Structure 1
Amino acid sequence: MLRSPSASPARGRHRKARTPSPSLRRATLLALTAPVAGSILAGPSAFAADKPVAKNAALDSAERKVAKNLDGRAQDTRLGNTLGGVVIDADSRKTVWGHEATTALMPASNTKLATATAALTVLGPDHRFTTKVVYGGGTLTLVGGGDRTLTTGDLKALAKTAAAGLRNARLTSVKVRVDDSLFPKPTLATGWNTGYYPDTVAPVRALVVDGRMVTDTALDAGRSFAQLLTQQGVTVTGQVTRGAAGTGNVPVAQHQSDRLSVIVKHMLKVSDNDAAETLLRMTALASGRPATFEGGTAAVRTVLTRYGVSLDHFVIHDGSGLSRANRIPARTLADLLAVAADPRHSSTLKYVVDGLPVAGEAGSTLGPEWGRFDTAHSRCAVGKVKAKTGTLTGALALSGLTKAKDGRWKVFSFIENGSTAAPDAIKDALDGLAATVNGCWA
């Protein structure tokens, strides 16, 4: 979740000011394709296919100017003493500018770029998550399938179908159980603390409704389902319990989520921690690994290696980037984005690029409600920069792409750790670096 602009800087983690209703969240997804996002044009098709990497190739005059400006602006006192950054040409992969680019730094929510890449690669963009209702021995069991987007409306449809089946079987009362055994019992990731629960991230379970941030999302969903059954005229006896569905249970109803590509784009736009952790586990399962932090991060490493992304100094312990033990160099994040923008991977990874917030895009983490790209130096880049944000106490990051003055697409990554400046001031400085790469702040 995102940290509200009015939240205390001491907390530093991504958080929203308030949780919108399911209908509003779905409306927001549609709104995110509005004019500001459309103005950047940056689909993977805008990039040429990979050519041999030319990290030391000569720079053109526009690139030399960008590099010179970044040399000076990277010394901004707001950025402190620990800044890793890099700018590469998306076509040739030559390095335009770099500063401690291979230094391992805390990436915060930029970790979600790796999570999204692995999920799309292993599961596929068209994958859908299934929530089921099964019956056996006088009990209806709601079976979680890792769908973080399940809504009360979806549950109501499941309850309506289940109630009709019960009536056809001349059954008037049932017990209700939830089965969230797809994931093991929730644990803390390395680098997490209990203070994250449940407002920054909920304990990761395979069943949740309306994205509610509660300690036990599965039982919460089961209770909602029981109430909806009652509204359909079914008598629910006893308390909602937890347990695995029996092998002989009869399927009664099911609901499928939207496509993974839609879920990934939303996860990146608003930096949804819960979605990221669920996707990490589903990616682990699909790759034949246990649905744990360790299984998921191992799957991520395998996928990045397959794409030729260096794992030197790359350490992650979760999917969201909340772990303070995560370390990713700026160069690795830039290379990852260059892979996502490569048209050879367009059918799978274009949704990573599509999901990047656009500077000035309301409803995203680069929107005006977060005070992004609203200074004299960065305002010129509104609609021209797409980038993933990252915010933890003591760590801020911005990694994305923009079309520079030479007409060529540049991929950039900037990671700041340890600055004592106010978080909003650091974000303004990072936005200025992105505007420098674009060239509008010349």
Structure 2
Amino acid sequence: MARPPRAVFVTLAVMLTLPTALVGAAGAQAVPGRSQSGTGTTPAPLVLPPAKTEGVAPTSTGVQKALAAVMADSSLGKHHGVYVYDASRGKALASIGTAKPFVPASTMKLLTTISALATIGADHWFTTETVSPSRGSVILVGGGDPLLALRPTTEFPARATLQELATSTAQSLRSQGVASVTLGYDANLFTGPAANAKWEPNYVTEGIAARTSALWVNEGRVSPGMAKRAPSPALAAATAFAGLLRTAGIKVTGSFKPVDAPATADGLAQVRSASLGDIVEYINLHSDNDGAEVLLRQVGIATDNGGSYTGGVKGLRATLAKLGIDVTKAQIYDGSGLSRANQVPLEALAGAVRVAVTKPELRHLLSGLPIAGFTGSLEDRFAGPGSEPGTGIVRAKTGTLTGVHSLAGLARDRTGTILVFAVATDSAPPDKALAARAALDRITAILASCGCAG
């Protein structure tokens, strides 16, 4: 599995000892190890020097003063704002232009993924299985694994695959003396419309998003890595599975139809997804719209609101309220942020990060945040003038739609303070998209580099 380069993990290791360990590291003294030799002992070199800090803690006045010039950048349009929270001391430092909520775009995924972690648990996995209600009959049952793949890949996290499931199913059938079967498929874990009514009509037809299904392979793509999606992801998965069964020596007859798998059916084989924690990291790192929509429905199921996207939103809102994230002024319609009808206060977006900093069981929200200039959707960012100080220090979820640009995440400033932030515009002129994104990069780089003491 491909993982980011070692340099990234040095930054990650430093950033994720939140919040007290980072603050305390400033004054810690490294104790060198010693190696034995024939003439005595010699100090071993430090692997990673302790983090250094300087200056005094940021103040509200200092933060607002430091951000004033870049917040006036015309590329941000009329409606833009920033919210900054001192996670080391538990207090808000700045709330500029935040009177009205914003279209969050993909920063919405922070609310979806933290809700999934809180309701389902980071160690949970989703199961795709085959069952047999009668001799010679096989049903492929989807368990809502967002990353189910056709065959093994080198990507992280490791995927469950239909190939593995077909091989195990064929072995089970042969052990029973069965060489020919009919095949049905059950994708009934999720309910309601497969496409969100609040999405643009072209999202599904152009492959920007899939028809969300509890049973799909490669997120419903006709070919891995391609945009085009199958009209019925579940049927496409069943068709692919039948081909793999035949390759494994099992004859498959008849057509493939949707069925309800009886609870009394005998189990044949199953494959387990990556852990939810790893899935959350992947979704936020790569801004995976389809994975986020699956997790939204899983939240609905986990909160007894059902497996539709409307049930997912109900479960999400209830979960966020329990976590202390205020979404009473928010309008939420999906889990990915594709809907332009979503309206979320910046304080709520920053709130997901704020809560994750204090709860170890939600740590995957932080460890999956892209690192400025290094990984995921921030790999090619923070290269312009004024943004360099944020490289390797800022960790943030990105959000992008036409006219909408946002970042929500955290940075450790030079005083050792952990600053949680959300910054956005949903009125950027389309012809100034790159300039608007660069302005957001500079805003967060300022937070990472300034003492902001006023």
Pairing partner for 1:256 from 268, 272, 278:
272
Alignment partner, residue 408 of structure 1: 417
Alignment partner, residue 11 of structure 2: 39
> Does 396-405 or 147-156 show the bigger shift?
147-156
Please provide the CA RMSD for this pair: 2.0
Alignment partner, residue 170 of structure 2: 163
Within 5 Å, give how 1:124-135 maps onto structure 2. 124-135=121-132
Pairing partner for 1:197 from 200, 204, 222:
204
For the residues of structure 1 that align with 2:278 and 2:268, how far apart are their CA atoms?
27
- Whether the aligned pair in 2 keeps the contact of 1:62 and 1:405 (CA below 8 Å) is no
Aligned residues: 398
How far has the Cα of 1:48 moved from its partner?
A: 7.4
Alignment partner, residue 25 of structure 2: none
* TM-score of the pair, normalised by structure 2: 0.83
- Whether the aligned pair in 1 keeps the contact of 2:194 and 2:213 (CA below 8 Å) is no
Pairing partner for 1:365 from 377, 384, 389:
377
CA-to-aligned-CA distance 1:247-283 (integer Å, 9 cap, x gap): 4321100111111000000000000011101011111
Q: Secondary structure at the match of 1:391?
A: strand
Within 5 Å, give how 1:226-265 maps onto structure 2. 226-265=242-281
- Whether the aligned pair in 1 keeps the contact of 2:354 and 2:420 (CA below 8 Å) is yes
* TM-score of the pair, normalised by structure 1: 0.85
How far has the Cα of 1:318 moved from its partner?
A: 0.6
Alignment pair present for 1:271 and 2:287: yes
- Whether the aligned pair in 2 keeps the contact of 1:36 and 1:383 (CA below 8 Å) is yes
For the residues of structure 1 that align with 2:450 and 2:150, how far apart are their CA atoms?
46
How far has the Cα of 1:190 moved from its partner?
A: 4.3
For the residues of structure 2 that align with 1:291 and 1:267, how far apart are their CA atoms?
19
Alignment partner, residue 122 of structure 1: 119
Greater C-alpha Rg: 2
CA-to-aligned-CA distance 1:201-255 (integer Å, 9 cap, x gap): 1001001112343232111111111011111111111222221123432110011
For the residues of structure 2 that align with 1:248 and 1:349, how far apart are their CA atoms?
36
CA-to-aligned-CA distance 1:358-409 (integer Å, 9 cap, x gap): 00124x00012xxx10102102211010001001112111011111122211
Q: Secondary structure at the match of 1:117?
A: helix
For the residues of structure 2 that align with 1:271 and 1:208, how far apart are their CA atoms?
19
Where structure 1 has 5 or more consecutive residues not aligned to the other structure, the ranges are: 1-26, 50-58
Q: Secondary structure at the match of 1:152?
A: coil
For the residues of structure 2 that align with 1:38 and 1:211, how far apart are their CA atoms?
32
How far has the Cα of 1:44 moved from its partner?
A: 5.2
Alignment pair present for 1:391 and 2:400: yes
For the residues of structure 2 that align with 1:177 and 1:67, how far apart are their CA atoms?
61
For the residues of structure 2 that align with 1:113 and 1:400, how far apart are their CA atoms?
9
User: 1:389/1:293 Cα in 2 relative to 1: closer, same or farther (>3 Å)?
Assistant: same
- Whether the aligned pair in 2 keeps the contact of 1:44 and 1:341 (CA below 8 Å) is no
For the residues of structure 1 that align with 2:58 and 2:216, how far apart are their CA atoms?
53
- Whether the aligned pair in 1 keeps the contact of 2:77 and 2:427 (CA below 8 Å) is yes
How far has the Cα of 1:332 moved from its partner?
A: 1.6
Fraction of identical pairs, as percent: 34
How far has the Cα of 1:62 moved from its partner?
A: 6.9
User: 1:377/1:288 Cα in 2 relative to 1: closer, same or farther (>3 Å)?
Assistant: same
Pairing partner for 2:389 from 359, 380, 383:
380
Amino acid at match of 2:88: D
Alignment partner, residue 206 of structure 1: 214
